[in-house]
Amino acid sequence: MSDIYEKIMELARRRGFIWPTSEVYGSVAGFIDYGPLGSMMKRRIEDVWRSFYVVQEGYYEIECPTIGQEEIFIASGHVKGFSDKMCQCLHCREYLRADHIAEGNAVPGAAAMSAGDLARVLADLPCPACGEILGELEVFDFNLMFKTAIGPGSQRRGYLRPETAQGMFTDFSRLLRFYRDKLPFGAVQIGKSYRNEISPRQGMIRLREFTQAEAEIFVHPDEKDHPCFSRYAAYRMPLLSIRQQEEDTPAISVSMQEAVEGGIVANQYVAYYLALTHHLLVTVGVIPEKLRFRQHLPNERAHYACDCWDAEIFSERFGWVETVGIADRTDYDLRAHEGQSGERFAVFIPFESPRRERRVRVIPNMGALGPKFRGKAKMVADALTASVPSPGGVTLHIEGEDVVIGPDLYEVREETVEVPGEEVTPHVIEPSYGIDRMIYAVLEHSYFEDVVEGEERRGLRLSPRVAPIQVAVFPLMNRDGLPEKALSITGGLKARGIMAEYDDSGAIGRRYRRQDEVGTPFAITVDYDTMEDDTVTLRDRDSMSQVRIPIAGIPDLVRCLVEGSRSFSDLSPA
C-alpha cells in the first residue's frame, strides 16, 4: 500500500476527519481543520492522555494564554535561538528549509551543520519545489515564532507560544503552594502552539498551528528514583540508544529496570515516562512493531538536558516520525526564569532535625565602603557578602568592571549556626506529545482494506476508546415499529454517555460498510425477532461476528466494551 497516505487523506476529507482550512479562499500550508469526526477523535485521544497523566499520575491540568509577553521567551531562549536554517531557491524563489533538503538527499548530520556548510552541500542538490539545481545560495537563520503586539500602539511585544511548557514554568511558585510545598509534583497542559514553519510539506506531520500535550514534573535534583517505578520496571520496549546509533544496529528490547541499571537511560524518572509513553501510544492505537524510542545523540541533545529520547512512529509515507519527546531538562528552565524575572524559583526542604553547621560569614565595613564607592557601596557590599575572599582580598565583578576589595574593607567571622533545611532548585522531567502527529499515526496504523463476499471493504480499525462513533444502531427495515425501537435504544445509549449514531438509510450491508469506514467498533441491528423477544444483534467491526443480546443490558454492555473491561470475543455467538 505505497499510496496509503493518499487513501487515508481521501477518506479523512470525505468522511469529515480532516479538511483543508479556509478552502474557499485557497488553503494555506501548515493549517488544518478538524471536521466533525476528526474533532471527536482528537478529544478522545486527549482524554486518554488525561487518563494517564491526570488520573493515574495525579498531575493537575492548568490552562495558560497562547500569547506571551516577550520577557517569557527571552528567558526561555526562544527569542535568541529558536530558529531554523532557511534558504531561497534562485530559480522559483521558493523559501525552503535548508537542513531538510540535505536530509532528503541522504546527507548525514545535516541538522547539526553550520549555515556555511549547508550552503556548500546544497549547491549541487535539486530544489524540491522546481527541480532545478540550487547552486550558490545563502543559508540564514529564520526565527519560527509568530510575533504580535499586545495592546494599541505596539507598546508591548508578544509572541504566539511555540510550546505550552513556559506557562507551567512561570506558574511554578503558585503550583508549589498548590502542592503544599512538597516535591515531587507536576502540572500538565493541553493546548495550541504555533511555529512559523518555513515550508511545511508534510500534511499533519508539520503544522504551523498544532496541539501539544505536555507535562512538567518537578523533582528533587538528588532524588530521581520514581516512587512508583515498580509499575513499569519490568515493562519491555524497543530502545535505540546512542550506542545502537553509533554502531548502526537496530533498536533493542529491554526492560526499564535493565535500561536504568545498564546506564542506557539516565534515571528512573526518564525510564518511567518512556514506558508510560509506550503504554499510552499503544493504547490509542499505534502498532507496537512500528514504535521505537531513539536517544538523542550528544551533538543534537540540548546543552541543558542530561538525557533526552524521542518516541518515533513509523509511517509508510514519512518514515520514522518524532511524535513525543521525553527529557530530563535539569534546572535550566527555572533558573532561566529566575534570572530574567528576579523571582526565586526554589523549594525549601526541611531536614528531619536541624543541623548545626560551621559557616564563614563576610561582614562588609560599610563605614569604609561608603566613602570609597559612594552610590555603588550597597552593590559592592551585597557582592562581597556572597563571595569567598582569600587572605589577600577578593576581586568582584561590578557593572562590567573588576573591583579589588582589600581585607581592610570587610571582616570574616566563623560561626556555628542551626540550619533547619535547605533550598533546592528542582529539576524538570518533561514528556511532550504532539497530538496531531499521534492522530495521523493512529489513522495510518488503523487503516485496512479487505474483500467481503466479493465486495471491497475499507475502513479504520480504531480502538473503541478513540473511535468518534462508538456504536451504530440500525433498524433492519424502515417500518413495522423497527425505527421506533432503534431510536429508543439509541436514546438509552446516549443517556449513558455513549456516542451512538442512528442510521436507517440504504441496505443493511451498506450501512455496515459506512460505519466500518469511519472506525465504528460496534453496530446494533433491530430486526423482527427484536419485536418478539426484546433481543438485538450486536456486530463487531473487526471480526464481523454477531451475537444476540437482550435490549435491557445494552448500555452497560457497550460501556464495558468501549472501556475495555469486557471483550467481544467473550460473548456468546448469535
Query: What's the rounded Cα separation, in Å, for the pair 149 and 89?
Result: 31
Distances (CA, A) of 223 to 330, 428, 528: 12, 12, 66
- Length of the chain counted residue by residue: 574
Fold of 356-422: 3.30.720
Beta bridge mates, 447: 460
Taking the CA atoms of 436, 104, 277 and 471 in sequence, report the sign of the dihedral they define.
positive
Domain 469-570 has CATH 3.40.50.11810: no
* pLDDT for the residue 462: 98
C-alpha cell at 312: 518515533
Q: At what angle do helices 36-50 and 435-446 cross, to 10 degrees?
A: 110
* pLDDT for the residue 391: 85
Rounded to a whole number of angstroms, the distance between the first and last alpha carbons of the chain is 35
Q: Where in the chain is the domain with CATH 3.30.720?
A: 356-422
C-alpha cell at 41: 477523535
Domain 4-82+144-332+429-435 has CATH 3.90.190.20: no
Q: Tell me the pLDDT tens digit for each residue of 287-346.
A: 999 999 999 999 889 889 999 999 999 999 999 999 999 999 999 999 999 999 999 999
Q: Where in the chain is the domain with CATH 3.30.930.10?
A: 4-82+144-332+429-435
Query: What's the rounded Cα separation, in Å, for the pair 213 and 1?
Result: 31
Q: Cell numbers 499515526 label which residue? A: 441
Angle at 494 between CA 491 and CA 495, to 5 degrees: 85
* pLDDT for the residue 61: 98
Strand, coil or helix: 316: coil
Query: What's the rounded Cα separation, in Å, for the pair 266 and 226?
Result: 12
Q: Which residues contact 470 (CB under 8 A, 6 or more apart)?
A: 464, 498, 499, 500, 520, 521, 522, 558, 562
Q: Tell me the pLDDT tens digit for each residue of 346-383.
A: 999 999 889 888 888 899 999 889 998 888 888 899 88
Amino acid letter for position 486: A
Max CA distance (Å), the chain: 106
Residue ranges for the chain with pLDDT beneath 70: 1-2, 154, 573-574
* pLDDT for the residue 1: 42
Strand, coil or helix: 106: coil
Q: Are 438 and 341 in contact (CB under 8 A)?
A: no
Q: Where in the chain is the domain with CATH 3.40.50.800?
A: 469-570
* pLDDT for the residue 374: 87
* pLDDT for the residue 2: 52
Amino acid letter for position 573: P
